[in-house]
Structure 1
């Protein structure tokens, strides 16, 4: 078994109008791409969900409802693999004025908060990465909604 060298927590984040909240990343000299809010699990995070809540607050000034595991992506990295945990959750509140952290304080390019319809065509309208997540979401819009229905237990 390969060694896990990094873990991330990322939000499949839907707002009250069933739009997906994403970050459009534009780096100098590169075409833009779209990512879900989230980032690395830090040593001070006691759980992956705690890391998720911290990252959403840092990147969006946002608070989320109950996160539900929805997708896992395994990416080869030097010395092992990076595991990306994606959680379906609802946006409870957001104040971009509260954003902080390296993405905001020392940006490498632009980090724009965008919302796209959470439909197969809405998801296909942006260059969402990783590609495996984009394909999974386009095929499972209804499934994500059932994860957020609140009757899982």
Structure 2
């Protein structure tokens, strides 16, 4: 089973960082920062910190697990994390240099239900969970 980790990264401005994906032939969508847990990762937390360093050149403070989506062949753990500083220009993830992957654009999104509703956040199941957590005020603890 492939394991993935993802982070809802909350900034000092109480916004969240999402990656806007623009790929040829498909509608624009947004995702949270994250990726595969690699064999060299000691634990999921280490994998998530590595992904944050690779994708936005930031350091994440992991607050806790928000939600898990599991299928027959994949498990995705979504964490709440805080990030103080980042520099998208200094990202180092291998996906950024691969041909045909499209564009990766970092966006700071307000931490509101209307902002989540305004973007095509994938996976949709997690977008619904995130929307509910925002509505209940669970992300600004």
Deviation at 1:49, TM superposition (A): 0.5
Once the two structures are superposed, residues 58-102 of structure 1 have per-residue CA deviations (whole angstroms, 9 ceiling, x without a partner) of 111111113311111113xxxx32110111011121012320122
Gaps of 5+ in 1: none
What is the match of residue 92 of structure 1?
84
Root-mean-square deviation over aligned CA pairs: 1.2
Query: Quick check: 2:62–2:79 contact (8 Å CA) kept in 1?
Result: no
Q: Output the CA distance in 1 between the equivalents of 2:20 and 2:89.
A: 17
Question: Which runs of 5 or more structure 2 residues have no equivalent in the other structure?
Answer: none
The number of equivalent residue pairs is 138
Q: Distance in 1 between matches of 2:4 and 2:123?
A: 13
Q: Aligned match of 1:43 in 36, 39, 43? A: 39
User: Is the counterpart of residue 102 in structure 1 residue 94 in structure 2?
Assistant: yes
For 1:53, which of 45, 49, 62 is the aligned residue?
49
> Do 2:19 and 2:106's aligned partners in 1 also have CA atoms closer than 8 Å?
yes
Query: What is the aligned partner in structure 1 of residue 108 from structure 2?
Result: 115
Q: Stretches of 4+ moved more than 3 A in 1? A: none
What's 1:125 paired with? 118
- Once the two structures are superposed, residues 97-137 of structure 1 have per-residue CA deviations (whole angstroms, 9 ceiling, x without a partner) of 32012222225100000111111101111000111111111
Q: Which residue of structure 2 aligns with residue 31 of structure 1?
A: 27
CA distance in 2: counterparts of 1:22 and 1:134, whole angstroms: 12
Q: TM-score, normalised by structure 2?
A: 0.92
8 Å contact kept, 1:64–1:93: no
